């Protein structure tokens, strides 16, 4: 096959061109006010996102990691307190637990959705369980309706890690339930590559209905101060700045359209893999029944994954591995006592997953090239 131009895993410049003028207007608006930290722009974004998510409150903060830390801070964890989560996720999901003095308890995941399995969560509940932290991985929600009532009956807090899933939803009891609206809290990241990304760092905590909880998170993000210089508790410095909020307000208006474009890209991938008879070599991501996947990443399971990745890189196709080592096998968590074989699905995924190029502006001909190169690899070209 003829040499192809480089195909990136994501391309922020293509997206920026589509909203450049709107963003420039928003940035100039903030520059004219000279109000850069929190303030009216952040408050407006918080209202707009609360409306979009259909929750009572949202609280902007400095990053997705901070959103997790702030949510964990509200639990007042003590030594021995446990938080159940997945071993197949980004590091911050578990580090936010340990940084707050808790113990991560891992539960294995589904091999097709990559999300934590409800029955595994329920099997890990103990009297020491303070919270469950499921991750809506790669853009798809976990079926939280399967565990929510049981957790509530036990007084266990449900915190959603929504860093990769803004706009995803599930049909629950006949209504659309968005990512971040089902649990007690939802934690979001606005890292630039996310479906709703800003042009720096940013994050947000959604609170479904508890006004006191929302007020506390607002205090915690400003060193625990209610009124300036009067501190009710020790918090952190985690404020969303006005420039990022203004940019996010622009981009939020386009989020639904961009998510639909991602779904079209995913559908095209599925068609191309089928047309090229690759379904024995590559396992495609599955959209769970009742769910709406927004494909933050398009992650397949591939035989001879590492060889395939090198083959593609040599031909100009950029791919990524999320995640090459499950958290229970990370050196820093060795004190938890887990060993290889404890979570076989997560370990299998770490050996097989490959994230293909995925962003709304990915061209059909680029996708054809990606899949053709994969076909060449498995045919021994």
Active site residues: 194
Q: What is the C-alpha to C-alpha distance for residues 266 and 299, in angstroms, rounded to an integer?
A: 10
Phi/psi of residue 325, each to 5°?
Answer: -140, 115
Burial 66-102 (b: 16+ CB within 10 A, else e): bbbbbbbbbbebeeebbbbbbbbbbebbbbbbbebeb
Contact of 50 with 57, CB cutoff 8 Å: yes
Q: Are strands 185-189 and 203-207 parallel, antiparallel or unpaired?
A: antiparallel
Pull the structure tokens for residue 91: 């590091």
Q: What are the tokens at 92?
A: 């911050």
DSSP state of 360: T
Question: In this structure, are residues 318 and 6 in contact, taking their beta carbons and an 8 Å threshold?
Answer: yes
Under DSSP, the state recorded for 37 is: B
Q: How many CB atoms lie within 10 A of CB 127?
A: 6
Closest CA to 339 of 331, 348, 88: 331
SS3 335: helix
Q: Is residue 282 within 8 Å of residue 374, measured between CB atoms?
A: yes
Give the DSSP H or E segment for 204.
Answer: strand 203-207
CA distance 304 to 312: 12
Closest alpha carbon to 59 in 187, 236, 230: 187
DSSP reduced 3-state for 21: helix
């Amino acid at each position: 096959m003829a040499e192809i131009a480089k195909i990136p895993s994501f391309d922020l410049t293509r997206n920026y061109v589509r909203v450049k003028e709107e963003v420039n207007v928003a940035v100039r608006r903030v520059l004219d006010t000279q109000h850069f930290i929190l303030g009216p722009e952040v408050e407006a974004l918080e209202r707009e996102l609360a409306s979009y998510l259909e929750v009572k409150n949202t609280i902007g903060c400095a990053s997705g990691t901070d959103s997790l830390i702030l949510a964990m801070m509200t639990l007042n964890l003590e030594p021995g307190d446990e938080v159940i989560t997945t071993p197949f996720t980004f590091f911050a999901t578990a580090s936010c637990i340990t940084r707050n003095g808790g113990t991560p308890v891992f539960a294995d995941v589904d091999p097709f959705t990559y999300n934590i399995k409800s029955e595994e969560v329920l099997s890990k509940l103990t009297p020491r369980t303070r919270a469950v932290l499921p991750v809506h991985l790669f853009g798809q929600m976990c079926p939280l309706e399967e565990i929510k009532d049981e957790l509530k009956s036990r007084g266990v807090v449900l915190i959603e890690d929504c860093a990769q899933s803004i706009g995803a939803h599930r049909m629950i009891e006949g209504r659309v339930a968005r990512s971040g609206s089902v649990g007690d809290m939802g934690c979001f990241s606005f890292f630039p590559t996310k479906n709703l990304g800003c042009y720096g760092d940013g994050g947000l905590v959604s609170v479904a209905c508890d006004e006191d909880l929302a007020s506390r998170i607002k205090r915690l993000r400003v060193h625990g101060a209610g009124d300036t210089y009067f501190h009710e508790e020790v918090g952190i410095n985690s404020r969303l700045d006005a420039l990022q909020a203004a940019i996010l307000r622009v981009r939020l208006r386009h989020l639904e359209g961009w998510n639909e474009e991602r779904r079209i890209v995913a559908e095209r991938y599925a068609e191309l893999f089928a047309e090229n008879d690759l379904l024995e070599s590559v396992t495609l991501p599955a959209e769970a029944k009742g769910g709406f996947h927004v494909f933050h990443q398009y992650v397949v399971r591939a035989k001879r994954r590492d060889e395939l990745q090198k083959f593609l890189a040599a031909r100009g196709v950029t791919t990524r591995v999320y995640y090459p080592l499950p958290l229970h096998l990370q050196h820093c968590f060795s004190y938890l006592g887990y060993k290889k074989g404890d979570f076989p699905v997560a370990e299998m995924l770490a050996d097989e997953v490959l994230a293909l190029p995925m962003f709304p502006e990915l061209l059909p001909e680029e996708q054809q090239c990606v899949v053709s190169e994969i076909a060449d690899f498995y045919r021994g070209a």
